[in-house]
Amino acid sequence: MLRPRLLSELDLRLKNLKGSEDFKNGLKERFIANSSDIEDLYNDLYGHLPNSKKLFSQLLDQLFSAYSERSVELKTRDKDKLKEDYWFCSEQLTGMSLYVDRFAGKLPDVEKKLNYIEELGVNFLHLMPLFESPKDASDGGYAVSDFKRVDERFGNLKDLQHLGTQMRSKGMYLMLDIILNHTSDRHEWAQKAKAGEKKYQDFYYCYPDRSIPDLMEYHMPEVFPESAPGNFTYIHEMNQWVMSVFHSYQWDLNFKNPEVLVAMMDNIYFYANLGVDILRIDAPAFIWKEQGTSCQGLPNAHKLLQLIKLLVEVPAPGMAILGEAIVGPHQILEYFGKGRFTAHQCDFAYNATQMATQWDALATGDTRVMREAMKVVDLKPLGTSWINYSRCHDDIGLGYDDYMISNAGKDPNLHRKYLKDYYSGAFSGSPSKGALFGANPKNNDARISGSLASLCGLEAALESNDPQAIQTSINKLTLMQAQSFFSGGIPLIFYGDELGSLNDYSYLNDASKSYDNRWMHRPIIDWDKASKRTNIDTIEGSVFERHQRLIRIRKENKAFADLKNTHWLTLNSPAICSFIRTSEDQSVFCFLNYSNETQQIPESVFNSLGKGPHQLKELWSNQLMEFKSPLNYFDIKPYQFYILSNKI
């Protein structure tokens, strides 16, 4: 029920709105549906503050201006998206993350490469941060000094708008980041804070001495323990300590101050009206801090995300939200919302648990830890989706629970040590080439850097010029991608992986990057090399064709839409990951062998299809396979996978 006061706020603002009645009715409906929750969430967070009423009214003004500034083209696109059930869960979507400069050059150069993207079959692009960020202190663009100015390294706002229009005309989708948790220390707000303006010091967490920082740091983990230990930085210009959870040049915004929310909503609406289809909220786990806690994933961080979701949904209902929380399997589910906010907080989250347990399985030839983890991952609510990925621009954290490892019959400490050794060159039997990232001797934690191909063994295989090892590494990387493509969620390829890009060690010669080995897996695309993709006998050609095939198979089968239609199976062989995807008229059985030995699968797995024999189509090889009796077994080779559909 809409509260009378909110109704009068609505009437007042609707009067001044121009545009079609049809669109306005939609807005009205969404306002009526959401505004009481908006008010309650807002009051929970800010109601006790003297300026809360004034700022609430400002938030509503912003919401309506965002709507009136939204183009008819985008409003029509919103309407089309809403006609579908969960447009963002569709099997038609496949994404790619890329750095504009390292992939192509400037924004117009990306536009020239859209045919390459289409040739691959990708129709959703995550452009890595491209708003202004100091070149010497940018954290790959995640330290923003101006949220509305495109960094001149990439071009300008017009170029971005042009690219967006081109993409939409080709039926493509766009994802951009909002770096909500912090700004660069060169952002205007930080500069004003440094100059002593109290208003802007209140935008950040500033303390006159170490007493509170010391108390807080006691409970706060370190994100970059090697390159940026601690969580506070002394700023001599203002003689204060500022909270800087990531690098010292990334100052944490203080969302306890509602002015910060208003200021950041302004940026969010700006991105919405640029035509962003999926907004990636960077580091949402960190957006609310309380003394005496880890300052991560706090209840108010979730409330704030729910509030942002609703504030976006009213004027821009076609913009989905991805919460980039890289947290454990139980914690990640909270980002999809709980109770009455179930499926009404973040539409997407990164499936970091699946990703990490895939790397676990690849190193051990054993999927039992993954199976344990999937019991939790599988609880994701209908109407939300995963971003599935084997690699991204960040490191691989082994962030699943110890009990999952124990339940798989292993010792958690020894097991994690083995994985870190396996991927960082410390284990002599491993073909993987990667490195430890964020190693913290205080708690023995470390994550892993390295490109998909190098971690799968391609770099070492090329060095030793071993054709069989080259083939094995290609099979491994295809296996890893296949799980991302078929298990439920939108696959997001990291640019370069579609060509089998190896680690690039040139970052070591650049002082602005050498302290951060994540740059080893952020390639600069060599387009001469990339042109080999048309020749299937080259590595680039083989890997590219495999990605094309994965995308095609996904698009051709409705069962791969993410509609709570993944059923995990437990086969006797621990080496095999298996699940069934279903739609109204189709069942697709997926089997992935993570080990270096041939395994056997009992034909009884097909019992759910009814009485056999069964003839199924294997989608990867496009061949029919006969299964005659539930008493029989069939072979699956090392690192092979089957995608078996009953629709032939």
Contact pattern for ligand GLC over residues 324 through 353, marking x by CB under 6 A: x-----------------------------
**Least distance in angstroms from the C-beta of 515 to ligand GLC:** 12
**Least distance in angstroms from the C-beta of 568 to ligand GLC:** 28
Which of positions 152-181 make contact with ligand GLC (CB under 6 A)?
Answer: 179
User: Which one of residues 147, 246, 423, 594 is an interface residue with ligand GLC (CB under 6 A)?
Assistant: 246
- What b/e sequence results for 409-445 when a residue is b if at least 16 CB atoms lie within 10 Å of its CB, and e otherwise? ebebeebbebbbbbbbeeeeebbbbbbbbbebeeeeb
Q: Report helix, strand or coil for 622.
A: coil
The catalytically annotated residue of 324, 394, 395, 401 is 324
Burial class, 189, CB count within 10 angstroms (exposed 0-12 / middle 13-18 / buried 19+): buried
Residue 40's H or E segment, with its range, is: helix 21-46
Q: Is 394 a binder of ligand GLC (CB under 6 A)?
A: yes
R_g over Cα of the chain: 25
> Which is nearer to ligand GLC, 287 or 314 (by Cβ)?
287
> Which is nearer to ligand GLC, 352 or 605 (by Cβ)?
352
**Least distance in angstroms from the C-beta of 447 to ligand GLC:** 11
Q: Is 185 a binder of ligand GLC (CB under 6 A)?
A: no
**Amino acid, res. 488:** G
> Which is nearer to ligand GLC, 282 or 366 (by Cβ)?
282
Q: Token digits for 545?
A: 């064709």
Q: Is 498 a binder of ligand GLC (CB under 6 A)?
A: no
> Which is nearer to ligand GLC, 345 or 449 (by Cβ)?
449
The catalytically annotated residue of 39, 222, 277, 282 is 282
Q: Is 221 a binder of ligand GLC (CB under 6 A)?
A: no
* Chain position whose Cβ is nearest to ligand GLC: 142
Catalytic, 282? Answer yes
Which of positions 273-292 make contact with ligand GLC (CB under 6 A)?
Answer: 282-283
| Binding residue count for ligand GLC, defined by CB under 6 A | 10
Which of positions 41-80 make contact with ligand GLC (CB under 6 A)?
Answer: none
> Which is nearer to ligand GLC, 139 or 497 (by Cβ)?
139
Residue 487 contacts residue 388 (beta carbons within 8 Å): yes
* Pairing label, strands 146-150, 576-583: unpaired
Catalytic, 584? Answer no
Q: Cα separation of 229 and 226, whole Å?
A: 6
* Pairing label, strands 576-583, 586-593: antiparallel
**Least distance in angstroms from the C-beta of 250 to ligand GLC:** 6
Nearest CA-CA partner of 483 in 560, 419, 408, 558:
560
Contact pattern for ligand GLC over residues 115 through 144, marking x by CB under 6 A: ------------------------xx-x--
| DSSP letters for 171-210 | T-EEEEEE--SEEETTSHHHHHHHTT-HHHHTTB-EESSS
* Pairing label, strands 599-602, 633-636: antiparallel
- Which residue is it, tokens 């019959």? 409
> Which is nearer to ligand GLC, 111 or 139 (by Cβ)?
139
Q: Which residues are annotated as catalytic?
A: 282, 324
Residues contributing to the site for ligand GLC (CB under 6 A): 139-140, 142, 179, 246, 282-283, 324, 393-394
